[in-house]
Structure 1
Amino acid sequence: MATFQIQGGKKLSGEITPQGAKNEALQILCAVLLTDEEITISNIPDIRDVNKLIDILEDLGVKIRKKGPGEYTFQSDDINLNYLFSPEFRERGGALRGSIMIVGPLLARFGKGYIPKPGGDKIGRRRLDTHFLGFQKLGAKFVYEEGSDFYGVETDGGLKGAYMLLDEASVTGTANIVMAAVLAEGVTTIYNAACEPYLQQLCKMLVRMGAKIEGIGSNLLKITGVEKLGGCEHRCLPDMIEVGSWIGLAAMTKSELTIKDAQYDELGVIPEVFKKLGIKLERRGDDIYIPAQDIYEIETFIDGSIMTIADAPWPGFTPDLLSIVLVIATQAKGSVLIHQKMFESRLFFVDKLIDMGAQIILCDPHRATVIGLERKYPLRSTTMTSPDIRAGISLLIAALSAEGTSTIHNIEQIDRGYERIDERLRKIGAEIVRLN
């Protein structure tokens, strides 16, 4: 188990470029299974979760060639479906939640797809019903091995287009169903579809491969199935969660930072939410400039009541940044209620911030009230353990702002989502060391 040792309380400065989007890459990589032609993908982040998925694809028989940093070609013209029943797949697939998205493409192209119960962050229940209910609507049969946590879907006569109203606007569920529907016979209509930029990116890539998809960017998708898809080239967006993380880092450490190539137009309400916390930021083309700020003050609602920041399906605020917002608020002037609606265990890392001196009331598994300290009482350094990706980066930001030396264990969780984060932080002045 690796550890970060951080000397906090230092101002940072310079430029930092966000990596390719993790959540987009996991969807896009699964889509290469839909064709036997070559696909080139660039700006793929070099992180644990993405690399695990690439390994699974290679074990399935996908021919993979690395062309340069973050750029690969994939060709799925000799897939070994027997691998799905191997002990290696049960172990590797079960360790990565994103592996669930290989099921839709395999079902569409080969008539069957299987997956062990996926792992990932321990942030509460993350059910898979939306995926399999959608497959069943398309005519697939659900297969489940009792007591084995091994799921599957099969079809004898091929998939048929259907109308479906998703029970929740699941991003991975929508992606999986879309990838199955593009090769189904007839028209599929998906209502209450997720419409995040990463899902839009997937749909645009599929269209370049020959798919027929209408309504991209909305929650109503109409997909007319085609017989075959071809190759294409695709580039992943910058990771919006990293963009938000660097905004939070600048605010907490009173640093002047420029976030390069942030693709501002794809960030939705993210910049406005940080502005509600009193953080000044300026758009410069596709870059974001954050000046050094000694004090930032949380807004109130127009009637004077306490600000509430909550997550919601796109175009609402992404749940992956609520942990960052919570940490930022600890040193702001004013108070805020953080409402994490989607995951009931994601706020349980606040005890570590309380140990550092933060004033936080955990109201219940979904809500926390943060009373900003206005920097009058800086956070204290401490030793802590990263419970998941987003809590991990939030604790790292807290440690970089705290006086003294902090230690963060289980940083493999952070490595799952952030590429060479210690190297990149050192380039802007952070004192951070990785210890094995």
Structure 2
Amino acid sequence: MSSAFEVRGGNRLQGEIVPQGAKNEALQIISAVMLTPEKVTISNIPDIVDVNLLIELLGDAGVRINRVSRDVCEFQADNIDLDYLQGPEFKKKSGRLRGSVMIAGPLLARFGKAFIPKPGGDKIGRRRLDTHIIGFERLGAKFIYDSDDNFFRLETNGLKGTYMLLDEPSVTGTANILMAAVMAEGTTTIYNAACEPYLQQLCRMLTRMGAKIQGIGSNMLIIEGVKYLGGCEHTMLPDMIEIGSFIGLAAMTQSEITIKNAGVEHLGIIPEKFRQLGINLEIRGNDIYIPSQETYEIQTFLDGSILTVSDHPWPGFTPDLLSIVLVVATQAKGSVMIHQKMFESRLFFVDKLIDMGAQIVLCDPHRAVVIGLGRQHALRGITMSSPDIRAGVSLLIAALSAEGKSTIQNIDQIDRGYQYIDERLRKLGADIRRV
């Protein structure tokens, strides 16, 4: 029986909250420790299911792990058990975790072989591995798909640098190919590369390990292969999705919240998008202060037409925050069109919001129009279930602003991406408990 959150909404929250380390950065950075036999120390690790599973998986594969504290960990991959990585136990475990695909690049680079399970994880539409596999093939890896056990096997007798144009700027795809290319022979050019802050972080870490990478932060990475990478220390960025979630939460619950150490310079367009919804926020050094606001009004475009918020690869607006924007818009004044281009079924949680009294027209799997209630009517608490990580937190925000009691089931999905979220919100005055 998985646990649930019981939430009594309507409280105004107040105080400071510190965002966790970035989940999407963690999965790449922690995989990169496989590139060297030397010690790598990583700080600001989020204490969440997906990340802990990956660390456990590396430990099973022979990486020596010393968890100095919940957010600092030392890794040393000087004795990898390649047999374990093709055995039944790894297949079972890695199938539960999307992030396990990220160790393929480092393994190919260092040992010339890798094993990838068919992806599991979220219910947000297909997430293809094509970009990863085609990239590895371009570098000279051969791949065999075993349909009996849903497993990809990759092997090479030496990766060679090449030019490639990715069919989509996949973050995990770019990271995986990059980690394979840093030790390939010759020069690799990856064009249409993802350029998210998390990927820039990975590039900086690899550079500290001795990799030669040009074009960091752009969509063209040029990598000159090296023979050996050494150890390093790395601190992860705060999680921008959590930061966006807290901005939305403050507005919805009319709360005064300060988000501490928000890594403001790495947030891109995110603060601006929340300002377009009429939310006041002040950047104070590296903190974001959101004052308590009675109402917030969605801006229109200059010609008066309805605002559209859509996702786009970085430096555009991240798809992970569209669910949050959608929820926050339900209590704004004005209307907004949410256009989710990158995933098919991310909007399938709006029926729960409609049950709570929100006015939303779901046009198709990609578009929803939200007609803001302008606080004329509060949402009402209901029992609901969370389909994916980001929708889960969006529903949690809705519940915290609603009248009465809400029960959110299937919160394992929330725990996969947000650490101790109930404890941290209780410290701000939220009425939330785990049952």
TM-score (norm 2): 0.99
User: Post-superposition shift, 1:115?
Assistant: 1.3
User: Post-superposition shift, 1:148?
Assistant: 2.5
User: How far apart, in 2, do the equivalents of 1:371 and 1:283 lie?
Assistant: 29
| Correspondence 1:81 to 2:79 | no
Bigger mean CA offset, 86-95 vs 216-225: 86-95
Q: Which amino acid aligns with 2:110?
A: R
What is the aligned partner in structure 1 of residue 11 from structure 2?
Answer: 10
Alignment of 1:135-154 (within 5 A): 135-154=136-155
User: What per-residue deviation string (whole Å, max 9, x for no partner) do you get for residues 36-80 of structure 1?
Assistant: 000000000000000000011001100000112300000000000
The number of residues matched between the two structures is 434
User: Post-superposition shift, 1:28?
Assistant: 0.2
| Correspondence 1:407 to 2:431 | no
User: How far apart, in 2, do the equivalents of 1:418 and 1:69 lie?
Assistant: 14
| Correspondence 1:396 to 2:396 | yes
| Correspondence 1:379 to 2:379 | yes
What is the aligned partner in structure 1 of residue 344 from structure 2?
Answer: 344
User: How far apart, in 1, do the equivalents of 2:144 and 2:211 lie?
Assistant: 28
| Correspondence 1:264 to 2:271 | no
What is the aligned partner in structure 2 of residue 28 from structure 1?
Answer: 29
User: Post-superposition shift, 1:147?
Assistant: 3.8
Q: Which amino acid aligns with 1:159?
A: L
What is the aligned partner in structure 1 of residue 234 from structure 2?
Answer: 234
Alignment of 1:6-405 (within 5 A): 6-156=7-157, 158-405=158-405
User: What per-residue deviation string (whole Å, max 9, x for no partner) do you get for residues 192-214 of structure 1?
Assistant: 00000000000000000000000
User: What per-residue deviation string (whole Å, max 9, x for no partner) do you get for residues 172-192 of structure 1?
Assistant: 000000000000000000000
User: Post-superposition shift, 1:85?
Assistant: 1.9
Q: Secondary structure at the match of 1:331?
A: coil
What RMSD in Å do the two structures reach over aligned CA positions? 0.6
User: How far apart, in 2, do the equivalents of 1:340 and 1:141 lie?
Assistant: 35
User: How far apart, in 1, do the equivalents of 2:34 and 2:285 lie?
Assistant: 36
Q: Which amino acid aligns with 1:299?
A: Q
User: How far apart, in 1, do the equivalents of 2:138 and 2:147 lie?
Assistant: 23
Whether the aligned pair in 2 keeps the contact of 1:39 and 1:75 (CA below 8 Å) is: yes
User: Post-superposition shift, 1:149?
Assistant: 1.5
Moved over 3 A (4+): none
User: Post-superposition shift, 1:152?
Assistant: 1.9
Whether the aligned pair in 2 keeps the contact of 1:310 and 1:341 (CA below 8 Å) is: yes
Q: Secondary structure at the match of 2:136?
A: helix
User: How far apart, in 2, do the equivalents of 1:207 and 1:405 lie?
Assistant: 51
Q: Secondary structure at the match of 1:223?
A: strand
User: How far apart, in 1, do the equivalents of 2:283 and 2:50 lie?
Assistant: 31
User: How far apart, in 1, do the equivalents of 2:70 and 2:78 lie?
Assistant: 24
Q: Secondary structure at the match of 1:81?
A: coil
Q: Which amino acid aligns with 1:199?
A: L
User: Post-superposition shift, 1:278?
Assistant: 0.2
Whether the aligned pair in 2 keeps the contact of 1:49 and 1:416 (CA below 8 Å) is: yes
User: How far apart, in 1, do the equivalents of 2:342 and 2:182 lie?
Assistant: 29
User: Post-superposition shift, 1:146?
Assistant: 2.2
Whether the aligned pair in 2 keeps the contact of 1:105 and 1:180 (CA below 8 Å) is: yes
User: Post-superposition shift, 1:354?
Assistant: 0.3
User: Post-superposition shift, 1:116?
Assistant: 1.1
User: How far apart, in 2, do the equivalents of 1:168 and 1:142 lie?
Assistant: 20
Q: Which amino acid aligns with 1:193?
A: A
Whether the aligned pair in 2 keeps the contact of 1:161 and 1:188 (CA below 8 Å) is: yes
Structure 2: runs of 5+ lacking an equivalent: none
Bigger mean CA offset, 163-172 vs 86-95: 86-95
Q: Secondary structure at the match of 2:254?
A: coil
Q: Secondary structure at the match of 2:362?
A: strand
User: How far apart, in 2, do the equivalents of 1:320 and 1:86 lie?
Assistant: 34
Q: Secondary structure at the match of 1:417?
A: coil
User: How far apart, in 1, do the equivalents of 2:148 and 2:274 lie?
Assistant: 46
Q: Which amino acid aligns with 2:128?
A: R
Q: Which amino acid aligns with 1:245?
A: S
Q: Which amino acid aligns with 1:393?
A: V
Whether the aligned pair in 2 keeps the contact of 1:84 and 1:115 (CA below 8 Å) is: no
What is the aligned partner in structure 2 of residue 421 from structure 1?
Answer: 421
User: Post-superposition shift, 1:91?
Assistant: 1.4
User: What per-residue deviation string (whole Å, max 9, x for no partner) do you get for residues 125-177 of structure 1?
Assistant: 11110000000000000111024211121102x00000000000000000000
TM-score (norm 1): 0.99
Q: Secondary structure at the match of 1:373?
A: coil
Q: Which amino acid aligns with 1:319?
A: P
Q: Secondary structure at the match of 1:51?
A: helix
User: How far apart, in 2, do the equivalents of 1:282 and 1:268 lie?
Assistant: 15
User: What per-residue deviation string (whole Å, max 9, x for no partner) do you get for residues 89-118 of structure 1?
Assistant: 111111111111000000010000001112
User: How far apart, in 2, do the equivalents of 1:173 and 1:153 lie?
Assistant: 15
